[in-house]
């Protein structure tokens, strides 16, 4: 069999472990030929690929990023469906070009490693008749149908380490520190890092907050002789302003309390660097499982982790919804027990 692999969307630690997991299993266990497409769906559209050898997959397990490159190309965007050339004649749409390249290379399956956007495209390609398997990765942990995505644990470590470091400087200056974490429209990373690093207030998109509750919480802490506070803010919180989330929240605190307040936006630090041991293991398990599924000709699905069990969910489910945090999530309930505020 011949299989293609691509990595799409924002990068994250563990992508190379995943490529290695699929590729080595496909080659060594099943004698498949493996083709790596460059820069996500762009490579599939432009027919930009290389056949991977087992040697190329050695030594990459611990590297961050992706040896294949990635992009946010979305081939099913409305404006890309039909493109006219200067003579007014229709030229290939991107999905057509993908289908043709897939057919000409004689692929038996294309493995799409990515987050929500990638699963959406993978689902549409599957509906177009291609054999597709999805593998969920993202630091946001917001892919529907899997308990966890690889990349999340590594980002959690970086974010936790960053918040840990804020405690000492906040304490020295008796300041309020606001730190903004990624997560797109969900608060998984902020909730977990906030809990792991002892955030006093955690603001996530899934729980609407009130400015006065944030101010009240910080004033109460000050009154009971807590000299500083740490506020963890997910980038996706609703605030209807053009400011970034951290600045918006820091301004509320400055105005409402008069306390010295500083903001930090952690940014791409969260996406870079070597994968954590858990992410290396998860990406390798997902990868080897994908190759098994290809051998069994099980397509149109995404690999997933339920508890500690590998399983699959249909792409038609994973590619059409986002996994958001239930406001009654056990972590939130127990964080409240120990006095963490969610600004509500
Ligand atoms: O999906 C991963 C992510 O890092 C999100 O947390 C963030 O909102 C987004 O990607 C940033 O995207 P870009 O790399 O396009 O700036």
Which of ligand 1's atoms lies nearest the C-alpha of 268? 4
Output the residue whose Cα is nearest ligand 1's atom 8. 184
The predicted structure's pLDDT at residue 82: 66
Q: Is 136 helix (H, G, I), strand (E, B) or coil?
A: strand
**pLDDT value of residue 290:** 98
- Tokens matching residue 189: 């990373």
Q: How many helices (H) and strands (E) does the chain have?
A: 12, 13
Pick from 142, 182, 246 the residue to mutate for probing ligand 1's pocket: most ligand atoms within 8 Å of its CB.
182
**Is the CB of 271 inside a 6 Å radius of any atom of ligand 1?**
yes
Instruction: Say if ligand 1 is within 6 A of residue 74 CB.
Output: no
Contact between 156 and 196 (Cβ < 8 Å)? yes
Full-model pTM = 0.96
- Contacts with 312 (C-beta within 8 Å, 6 or more apart), sequence order: 293, 298, 301, 302, 303, 304
Answer whether 20's CB lies under 8 Å from 57's CB.
yes
Atom number in ligand 1 closest to CA 183: 6
Cα angle, residue 36 at apex, residues 33 and 42 outer, rounded to 5°: 140
Output the CA 72–ligand 1 centroid distance in Å.
10
Counting ligand 1 atoms within 8 A of each CB, the residue from 71, 73, 140 with the most, and so the one to mutate, is 140
Q: Whose CA is nearest to atom 7 of ligand 1?
A: 184
**Token pair of 207, please?**
């729980």
CA of 181 to the centre of ligand 1 (A): 11
Which pLDDT score is estimated for 92? 62
Among all residues, which ones are annotated catalytic?
A: 140
Kindly give the distance from the C-alpha atom of residue 231 to the centroid of ligand 1, in angstroms, as a whole number.
21
Helix, strand, coil percent values for the chain (each to nearest 5)? 40, 20, 40
DSSP letter (8 states) at residue 341: B
CA 251 to chain centre: 29
Which pLDDT value is given to residue 86?
72
Question: What domains lie within the chain, and their CATH numbers?
Answer: 2-151+275-318 (3.40.50.450), 155-271 (3.40.50.460)
Rounded to whole angstroms, what are the CA distances from 66 to 13, 153, 204, 264, 273? 8, 17, 29, 27, 11
Per-residue pLDDT of the chain (344 residues; tens, 9 = 90+): 999 999 999 999 999 999 999 999 999 999 999 999 999 999 999 999 999 999 999 999 999 999 999 999 999 987 766 666 677 666 668 998 999 999 999 999 999 999 999 999 999 999 999 999 999 999 999 999 999 999 999 999 999 999 999 999 999 999 999 999 999 999 999 999 999 999 999 999 999 999 999 999 999 999 999 999 999 999 999 999 999 999 999 999 999 999 999 999 999 999 999 999 999 999 999 999 999 999 999 999 999 999 999 999 999 999 999 999 999 999 999 999 999 999 99
Of all protein residues, the one whose alpha carbon is nearest to atom 16 of ligand 1 is 10
The residue contributing the CA closest to ligand 1 atom 1 is 10
Structure tokens at 312: 């699959």
Ligand 1 pocket, mutate which of 14, 70, 184 (most atoms under 8 A from CB): 184
């Amino acid at each position: 069999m011949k299989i293609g692999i691509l990595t799409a969307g924002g990068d994250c630690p563990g992508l190379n472990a995943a490529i290695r997991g699929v590729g080595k299993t496909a080659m060594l266990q099943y004698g498949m030929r493996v083709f790596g497409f460059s820069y996500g769906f762009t490579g599939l559209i432009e027919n930009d690929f290389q056949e991977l050898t087992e040697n190329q997959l050695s030594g990459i397990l611990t590297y961050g990023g992706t040896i294949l490159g990635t992009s946010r190309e979305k081939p099913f965007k409305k404006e890309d469906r039909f493109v006219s050339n200067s003579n007014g004649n229709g030229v290939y749409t991107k999905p057509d070009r993908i289908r043709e390249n897939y057919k000409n290379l004689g692929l038996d399956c294309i493995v799409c490693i990515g987050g929500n956007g990638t699963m959406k495209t993978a689902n549409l390609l599957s509906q177009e008749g291609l054999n597709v398997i999805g593998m969920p990765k993202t630091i946001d942990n917001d892919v529907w149908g899997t308990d966890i995505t690889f990349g999340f644990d590594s980002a959690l470590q970086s974010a936790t380490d960053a918040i840990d470091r804020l405690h000492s400087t906040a304490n020295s200056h008796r300041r309020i520190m606001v730190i903004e974490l990624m997560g797109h429209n969900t608060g998984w990373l902020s909730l977990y890092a906030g809990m792991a690093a002892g955030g006093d207030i955690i603001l996530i998109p899934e729980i609407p907050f009130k400015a006065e509750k944030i101010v009240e919480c910080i004033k109460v802490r000050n009154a009971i002789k807590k000299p500083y506070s740490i506020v963890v803010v997910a980038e996706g919180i609703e605030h209807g302003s053009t400011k970034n989330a951290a600045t918006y929240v820091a301004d509320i605190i400055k105005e409402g309390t008069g306390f010295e307040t500083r903001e930090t936006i952690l940014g791409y630090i969260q996406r870079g660097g070597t994968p954590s041991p858990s992410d290396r293991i998860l990406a390798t398990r997902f990868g080897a499982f994908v190759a098994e599924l290809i051998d069994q000709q099980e397509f149109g699905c995404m690999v997933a982790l339920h508890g500690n069990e590998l399983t699959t969910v249909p792409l038609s489910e994973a590619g059409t919804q986002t996994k958001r945090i239930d406001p009654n999530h056990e972590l939130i309930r127990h964080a409240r027990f120990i006095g963490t505020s969610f600004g509500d």
